[in-house]
Every structure is written in structure tokens, then in C-alpha cells.
Amino acid sequence: MAHIIRSWICENARCSEWFESWEANPECPKCKCVRVSWRPNGGHVGGYSKNADVELRALADCFKLDNLNSAERGRAAKVIKTPPVPTGSQVHTFAGGFTAAINPTAGPQCVPTSNHLDFKVKAAPGSRLSPSGKYPSMSSHTAVEAAHKP
């Protein structure tokens, strides 16, 4: 758990000491009064972010983690490499419309899709999904073997 150092001011009119503390509700170190309030103009960490980036880079270099990035808008924290395409692979289109390059003789494979795949369904309780023009309905392959109506 990370601790935050904050700047505080003592509410004792005779003291009014300004101090910093790691605690959530500290007592004044001068007069030991517990009536303290957080001083909003203190506790800024703007100058520390550059040190954090340097420390992150040092740790990444120490542990040979060359695929980590520092926090930045639009940039992932870790670079994820896609698995290599298997040798002797051919592009196959599967049910559902996704396409992937696989080697049929290599057994199970985990490869990324070649096309953009986006399955979005707008469903709500009590409403039916619209029929698909690509796939037949479930009832088209359903055979009723027997029925009992008392």
C-alpha cells in the first residue's frame, strides 16, 4: 500500500504549526493537539513524477524488462506481442466470420484473427434478438419426437 505525505496545520490558535505527516489524522508534533486540518497548498507531487519515471526505467533495466512503458495517454503500459504465424499456415474462415492463418496439421493453435471481429448485441430483458441472415434459426433443425398435452 502506498502512503501519501500530506501537509497539515494545527488548529490550536496558540500554536498554528505547519507540519507534514504520513498519518491520515495526525497530532501536532509541537503542542500535541489533535485538531489539525489538511493544508491544501502542500503535498504536491509534481516534481516527483520525473523521479518515478527514472526509477521505473532503472527497475526495468535491472530486471531486463524491455517491454514496459511509463504512463502516457494513448500508450499501453506493456507491449503485447502477438504469437508468430505457424509455418505452413493457410488462411481459413471459420463459422462466425473470423479469419485466421492456421496450420491444420499442427493441432491446437492460438493465433490472432486476420480481420476485424466485432460481436455487438443489443439485448434487453423481454425482447427477442433479430434473426440472423447468416445462420439458420434453432427451430429449423429441431425435431419434435413426441408431445404430451393432458
Task: Give the DSSP letter string of 2-15.
Answer: ----EEEEE--TTT
pLDDT of residue 30: 92
- The Cα–Cα gap between 26 and 137 comes to 67
Nearest alpha carbon to residue 22 among 39, 12, 8, 41: 8
Q: Name the grid cell of 141.
A: 433443425
pLDDT of residue 1: 47
Count H helices, E strands: the chain? 1, 5
AA letter at 150: P
pLDDT of residue 64: 83
**15 DSSP β-pair partners:** none
Average pLDDT, the chain: 76
Tell me the pLDDT of the chain (150 aa) as tens digits: 456 788 888 999 899 888 888 888 899 999 998 888 887 764 455 555 667 778 878 888 888 877 666 666 776 666 667 666 667 778 877 776 777 888 878 778 777 777 776 667 777 788 777 776 777 777 777 787 787 887
pLDDT of residue 42: 46
Do you know the residue count of the chain? 150
On whether the CB atoms of residues 91 and 107 are closer than 8 A, the answer is no
